[in-house]
Amino acid sequence: MISSSLVVAALATTAALATAPHSDFKLSLSSAPATAVTRRARVRASTPSLAASKSRRDASNTTGEPLFDYFNGTDLQWYGDITLGTPPQNFTVVFDTGSFSLEVPGTACGAACANQRQFNSSASSTFQDEGYSTTITFGTGVGVDPVVGDNWEMSLSFVADALTIADLSIPFGGFYLITNQTATFLPDPFDDILGLGPDSGLFDAAGYPAIFGMLFVPESEGGEGELTLGGVDTTKFDTPLLFSPQVDDGNWELPSLGIFVNGETTSTLHNNLTLIFDSGTSNVLFTQPIAEAIYALISPDIAANGDEPGTYGIACDLIPSLPAVIDITFNGVAGQAPFNLTILSSELSSGPFTNKPELCQTLINVSDGYNLIGLSLLKHYYSAWDIDNQRIGFAPNGF
Ligand SMILES: *[C@@H]1O[C@H](CO)[C@@H](O)[C@H](O)[C@H]1NC(C)=O
Ligand SMILES: *[C@@H]1O[C@H](CO)[C@@H](O)[C@H](O)[C@H]1NC(C)=O
Ligand SMILES: *[C@@H]1O[C@H](CO)[C@@H](O)[C@H](O)[C@H]1NC(C)=O
Ligand SMILES: *[C@@H]1O[C@H](CO)[C@@H](O)[C@H](O)[C@H]1NC(C)=O
Ligand SMILES: *[C@@H]1O[C@H](CO)[C@@H](O)[C@H](O)[C@H]1NC(C)=O
Ligand SMILES: *[C@@H]1O[C@H](CO)[C@@H](O)[C@H](O)[C@H]1NC(C)=O
Ligand SMILES: *[C@@H]1O[C@H](CO)[C@@H](O)[C@H](O)[C@H]1NC(C)=O
Ligand SMILES: CC(=O)N[C@H]1CO[C@H](CO)[C@@H](O)[C@@H]1O
């Protein structure tokens, strides 16, 4: 889905939204105060200072909760519970490392958000309207549903209120209420999206160490997931976490030394590149030369599907016979050796295209100039997203 957006928290100084490639969505701020656009076309909106800082807890103080798998033919998204307001109103959100803000439907959305819970600001004693509106347009939809123009768009109003995720609480943080959205969002079984980008101020604002752990277990293995805030859940992996350093100041993005497919590589693939890590995107995106070099090493029968630009496919009945093990080599943090992360052959198919059911969509889409790793890889590792040290750690999760 989305990979998507906000923060919650707004924390202290920013509600950042992105247009970013990395986050699959484009944001246009229509009336936010004091915007600035950075090199990577990231848009930040200055917002009032909302969260009071607390002293940090001990590193042993963590909190967490289960994540649920949205499976509709293939694993699409994992999502979990939050509350907003006083008294608390319940919502479910995708915890999205590819975006920076929190969006939930408000009662003003009405029928356009009919399948989602809607926040009633009149029923919260701590609610504050921050007084500006904006829109977000997403660059990918859920799973294999096509993105056409602005068919994944939300209208938003910036507000502030109390937030909790498991036992983590913020008395007052900025977020967006959805006031209208395109019909493409209606089938989602979750209410919306909470961005956990590498600048997230959520943890500082709540007095927790600025690190979180994520576990996504494929549906075929039970489909449970887990989010841990303020630390990692060491019961969910057996080998030490291998960390790679963040290379970008806006996205969770790691340096790679190259890519191998079934143990082979080519001059196009054996190069330094950077990859964005996005828990809100179901599959994988590469630039066209890299995507096509990878596919060429898997099968000459994988071809672009002109009906949905950027996607590739192959006859579904050929998939079981194809080895498609993709090893990506990452730099270790200082003093640590490079290591591989692996996308398994079982991830090659994202399921049949709606309009051509004999043709299965393959896991890599072509992007507009960036490389992005989503759940196809993340669901086979425990991942530790270390904001304080700007690095991500991985250990196989056994699935
Ligand atoms: C919110 O969720 C909690 C925990 O699942 C539950 O106890 C509570 O009844 C829910 N509140 C509402 C208003 O549904
Ligand atoms: C919102 O809450 C107010 C105050 O509790 C209530 O009067 C109103 O009916 C609620 N609106 C909706 C749409 O639930
Ligand atoms: C791949 O492209 C399809 C069609 O545009 C889109 O629906 C899907 O979300 C894309 N997947 C990713 C990972 O970008
Ligand atoms: C809500 O968005 C839809 C497009 O999805 C648009 O047709 C409709 O006019 C919008 N409604 C309002 C009240 O802006
Ligand atoms: C499952 O996917 C199909 C095809 O994209 C879609 O039409 C349907 O609404 C989805 N069902 C649910 C429950 O999301
Ligand atoms: C990564 O995997 C490739 C084979 O696919 C192997 O040749 C290479 O040595 C591995 N690199 C590391 C750092 O393990
Ligand atoms: C690739 O990255 C490695 C490690 O960061 C560095 O030592 C090497 O010089 C880079 N190679 C090129 C061609 O930039
Ligand atoms: C706020 C809180 O829960 N603090 C706890 C953090 O962990 C230490 C020891 O692990 C406890 O003594 C604190 O009460």
Mean pLDDT confidence for 218-232: 94
In DSSP notation, 323-335 reads ---EEEEEPPSTT
Instruction: State both tokens at 142.
Output: 């859920």
Query: Which atom of ligand 8 lies at the shortest distance from residue 61's CA?
Result: 6
Q: Give the ligand whose atoms come closest to the C-alpha of residue 113.
A: 4
- Residues 67, 188, 277, 223, CA torsion sign: positive
What's the pLDDT band for 58 if we cut at 50, 70, 90?
Answer: low
Cα–Cα distance measured from residue 179 to residue 181, given in angstroms and rounded to the nearest whole number: 7
To the nearest 10°, the Cα dihedral for 96, 101, 107, 113? -40
Cα–Cα distance measured from residue 182 to residue 178, given in angstroms and rounded to the nearest whole number: 11
Mean pLDDT confidence for 32-37: 24
Cα 184 to averaged position of ligand 4 atoms, centre (Å)? 12
The residue that leads in pLDDT, 309 or 344, is 344
Cα 175 to averaged position of ligand 8 atoms, centre (Å)? 29
Mean pLDDT confidence for 57-83: 87
The residue that leads in pLDDT, 41 or 386, is 386
Cα 50 to averaged position of ligand 4 atoms, centre (Å)? 31
Q: Is 340 in the pocket of ligand 6 (CB under 6 A)?
A: yes
Mean pLDDT confidence for 21-35: 29
Mutation pick for ligand 8 pocket among 54, 58, 203, 229 (CB with most ligand atoms within 8 Å): 58
Q: What is the pTM of this model?
A: 0.86
What local confidence, expressed as pLDDT, does residue 314 receive? Answer: 97
Q: How large a percentage of the chain has pLDDT more than 70?
A: 83
What local confidence, expressed as pLDDT, does residue 139 receive? Answer: 65
Predicted confidence (pLDDT) at residue 17 exceeds the cutoff of 60: no
Q: Give the ligand whose atoms come closest to the C-alpha of residue 89.
A: 1
Instruction: State both tokens at 24.
Output: 């699959």
What's the pLDDT band for 146 if we cut at 50, 70, 90?
Answer: low
Q: How large a percentage of the chain has pLDDT more than 90?
A: 70
Predicted confidence (pLDDT) at residue 124 exceeds the cutoff of 90: yes
Q: Is 55 in the pocket of ligand 8 (CB under 6 A)?
A: no
Residues with beta carbon inside 6 Å of ligand 3?
A: 140-141, 144-147, 281-283, 285, 308, 310-311, 365, 374
Q: Give the ligand whose atoms come closest to the C-alpha of residue 284.
A: 3
In DSSP notation, 330-399 reads EPPSTTS--EEEEE-GGGSEEEE-SS-TTEEEESEEE-SS--EE-HHHHTTEEEEEETTTTEEEEEE---
Q: Give the ligand whose atoms come closest to the C-alpha of residue 118.
A: 2
Q: What residues have CB less than 8 Å from 381, skipping those under 6 apart?
A: 341, 394, 395, 396, 397
Cα 57 to averaged position of ligand 1 atoms, centre (Å)? 27
What local confidence, expressed as pLDDT, does residue 23 receive? Answer: 31
Predicted confidence (pLDDT) at residue 16 exceeds the cutoff of 80: no
Q: What is the pLDDT of residues 226-236, one digit of tens each?
A: 999 999 999 99
The residue that leads in pLDDT, 184 or 19, is 184
Predicted confidence (pLDDT) at residue 32 exceeds the cutoff of 90: no
What's the pLDDT band for 144 if we cut at 50, 70, 90?
Answer: low
What's the pLDDT band for 69 if we cut at 50, 70, 90?
Answer: very high
Question: CA end-to-end span of the chain, whole Å?
Answer: 22
Instruction: State both tokens at 122.
Output: 């009149």
Query: Which atom of ligand 5 lies at the shortest distance from residue 142's CA?
Result: 5
Q: Is 58 in the pocket of ligand 8 (CB under 6 A)?
A: yes
Hey, whose CA ends up nearest to atom 3 of ligand 4? 182
Q: Is 110 in the pocket of ligand 2 (CB under 6 A)?
A: no
Cα 308 to averaged position of ligand 3 atoms, centre (Å)? 8
What local confidence, expressed as pLDDT, does residue 143 receive? Answer: 59
Cα 228 to averaged position of ligand 8 atoms, centre (Å)? 16
Q: Give the ligand whose atoms come closest to the C-alpha of residue 119.
A: 2
Q: What is the pLDDT of residues 283-322, one digit of tens each?
A: 999 999 999 999 999 999 999 999 888 999 999 999 999 9
What local confidence, expressed as pLDDT, does residue 211 receive? Answer: 97
Residues with beta carbon inside 6 Å of ligand 5?
A: 72, 145, 187, 354
- Mean residue pLDDT across the chain: 84
